[in-house]
Amino acid sequence: MRRFLPDVMLLAAAAIFPYSVARIFLDTPIERTMGTAFKIFFFHVPMGWLCMLMALVCGIAAGIELRRRSTTASAVALAAAEIGFVCGLGVLLTGPIWGNATWGKPWTGDARQMSTALLWLILAAYLLIRHYGPENSRRLAAALAIFGAVDVPIIYYAVKLWKTTHPTTEVVGSLPPALWASLWPGLGALVLCTLGLMGIRIRQLLIAEELDDAWVRLADRRG
């Protein structure tokens, strides 16, 4: 059952996504100030949460990998970074659309925007090192992942620590019931999709590691 759980999650996400999109664009009221552009909120916020979650998972797993030389932790860190990178890209693409409707310009350079962009660049650097760096660069990659995890609370508290144009963290909690009902399906679908893809990617990385070890053992026997 555990082997097929990621596939079940992806199938569930595929079933929920159409309902979520239809509800957001057909049943959710249009915001008075921003108009239809406000509906980007229902994609932007969940992707932001998932990007930060994946960065935390990556940083913790990279720390475990660094301490215990764990193959599983290494696979978890890499899978989380790859998914976090994609979610972060979604945040950086949808944010300016929302910002342009709210502030009249897509980018203001406030603390939350800059710290989020920094996190995305950290994940990008981590992936470049993991995929293309030499074997002895794992320590540098782990340090970057841990730094990315440290950046997550900075992103969360940026609107409280500094004066920013970005909405505060209390906005989501103050949503009326109709908007909450539209947020949950999309968030649930994205979470299921993220966990499903992560499970499949971790399994793929572990199998690849086992194959590499098998080839090394075979080469040693022939030598």
Q: Chain centroid to CA 56: how far? A: 9
Q: Give pLDDT tens digits for 147-156.
A: 999 999 999 8
Average pLDDT over residues 183-193: 93
Q: Would you say residue 168 has pLDDT above 70?
A: no
Q: What is the pTM of this model?
A: 0.90
Of the candidates 50, 1, 63, 96, the residue with the CA atom closest to the CA atom of residue 188 = 50
Q: Mean of the per-residue pLDDT values for the chain?
A: 87
pLDDT value at residue 118: 95
pLDDT for residue 9:
95
- Among left, alpha and beta (phi > 0; psi -120 to 50; other), residue 29 is beta
Question: For residues 93 and 180, what is the distance between their CA atoms, to the nearest angstrom?
Answer: 23
CB-count exposure of residue 203 (10 Å: 0-12, 13-18, 19+): middle
Q: How confident is the model at residue 172 (pLDDT cuts 50, 70, 90)?
A: low
pLDDT tens digits along 104-162:
788 777 888 889 999 999 999 999 999 998 878 889 999 999 999 999 999 988 877 77
The two tokens of residue 197 are: 């893809």
